[in-house]
Chains A and B, each alone.
Chain A
Amino acid sequence: MLTLALNTFRERWRLFAGAITAVALGVALVQSSLLVMVATDRAPIPAGVTGRAREELREGYAGAATLLGMTVMLSAFLTVFIVSSTFAFTVAQRRRDLALLRLVGGGRGQLVLLLLGEALLLGLTGTAAGVLVGLPATWLQARLLIALGFLPGGFPLVWDGGVLIASGCVGITVALVGVLAAARRAAKVRPLDALRDTGGAARVMTPMRWLAGLSCLAFTIWMVSLAQSADLLGAMLMGLGISIMGAVSLSALSPLVVPLAGRVVGAVLRTSTLGELAQANLRDGVRRSASTAAPLIVLVALLLGLTGTLGSLALMSGEEQRHLVRGDLVVTSTGADLDRIESVPGVAAASPQISLSMSVTARHHEANRTWRQTHYSGIVAIDAAAYARTHDLHVRAGSLARLRGRTIALGPGMAESGIRVGSTVTAAISGHKTRLKVVAALRATLENYSETFLVPRDLVPASTIATAKAETVIRLAPGTSRSTARTAMRAAGADKVQTVPQWADTRTAAQQRGNMGILAVLMGMAGGYAVVAVINAVMIAGTERRTEFAAARVTGLTRPQVIRAALIESWAVTAIGLVLGCTVAAGALAGMLAASLRAAGRPLVDVPWTLLGITTLAAFAVTGAASIWTTFSATKPRPVALLAARE
């Protein structure tokens, strides 16, 4: 059996090229991710750095680990997806060969073994390539994580031979898992199929596919309807769920949905002869059309759905900040200039928020667990009275009015941390340890990295305040000109004077940057896989159509006409895939729309148009190029030679 597998593999390596690339990519990514993770685990935290820097390093490593973990999962999933669709193709294509094996005495188990053997060879080849590609990939990934701010510059990479075992296991497992469905289908091929052209094995919609497609579709529709009445966070989580489930559902059902959509496209295509031929082929070659459209559906749904959902969340979080702050200007300066800024003529109220480098050690309670933790970032000093005048306060417990003397309040960033109001925390300000009583807790906001602790300004020594960075919300007295006030503020030492909407936008943009970076990395990777999958599908389909193309040429089509008809078909399938993907993304964003209408009274949905435009152009370019190239090389031999060589 292994000899036969080896022979098939050698004979049909072109068919497997896409799957090998996918396995190699998967192995490279898993290997580099593991190596970077090992490196973060071993990276020493430099001696003598401040607690705050240590906390930042640790948070960066945790962020990197999350990103790497998601990378590993996603790449494993996508590799299995590509390998399994490749094998589904080869089984459909080789039905006669497989039936022939059954005819000369091959048992079902032997056919399964044959395919497993092929998958093993594919896995080994892919792994070997992946291990080599993984070496530069590790370096690239580390650079990327440094650029995203997860890892410190000059982060030392390490090599661990253990990852080779992991790489091998991943490559081979992924290939074997990918072949399982196809192997099961191959075992069902009947010996008589060697003599006939149709039969049970020609079916594309298997019961498993129906089950997976319909159950995911039902779940997606349920989530879309639920998202209409969910709160913002629920709508966001459901948006992510809808993107993933909807993509899986439509790609499983694509053999049904794509030809159906093809009828709509057909109305346009039928106007020309070539278009008519393309449309007929699109409906006839269900497996081919579906395998090209499926990766596009998954990519577009995930790309637009996730980016749109997170983008909309950023929009709403900006909107929230705008509503929380009741002021005209936000001024950035050092603590030393605060007094001069507050005394600018026309200032009715000024509420400074001074960022401090101090630490707070608090006891957290959660379910039946309790622990102490020291926090360094997001601690600010405020003037409670001024803060209340310039903010729309949402206090969860306690009262901000009591924030005076040796007290502390929990900011939105600590709302869900389990620190109790009324408990005592230890603060270290400029080297002095003080015990502070928790007197209030603010409600959580949509932001990711909000203020963690608020301390009264009078608690902090003036010398510390003078060097700290401050943001002051200014309310102007009625009749004061904004531009005059701005000029005066700058003269008083302000670094930056912004309106509240400007400030809110900058703030959310900065906070979303991390999210978007993670998303960009993951989606860039998914995009790479989609490109491999689409090229793979177009190329495999093109090679199997040599006789079909030859027949078309014998009927009277010129070679350029054949190429054009195939191109029209590919592009029609691409358009269908894009539209279906957008449908899923729209379902995901519908929940965000409903939530924003309820929360803010106006639609706050970030439709990533630029991304959609780029994806559309790239999809048409990639499928177009792959289609032209495969049709060109499939029509190279004289048509008669191909037709005669059929039997």
Chain B
Amino acid sequence: MIFKDFFIISLSLLGGYLTDSFLTTLINKPFFEISITYLIFFYWCYAAPQQFSLIIVMVTGFLIDFIGASFIGTHILPFLLFSLIIRTYAYRLRLFSHLQIGLIFALLGSIGFTFKYLFLYPDGYFYSKLLFNFISYILLWPLVYSLCRHIRRNYIFDIK
């Protein structure tokens, strides 16, 4: 993977993080929480399992933690775990429909959500938020998939 590809992937994750924070701040409801960052991350793991290696996973996780002023590891740890799972079953996942993949990613994302809130920010944990987050993963997956696929096909020439 060349630097330009890495730069574009990091930029897409950063864009996801900014969208998450912008929408959450705008809607300003305790149950509202979407994680486009995780969906974008899932897409890159899913679409480029060979190129999206351990080092890149760690660096992107670190960047998100740093930019969000979170504890170091808040994103790195779930990213490592999800990357391990998705890389292990990378090509098998392609047999499934978008709805099934959306469900699998929603489950994984909910694990990340629960990890973040139960261990790091217990004050912000609500069941309604978890449910909303789960449904939003399924609904947003086709959108994120199309957008990231467009970026990959037009700007990242190393990953086919």
Tell me, yes or no, whether A binds B.
no
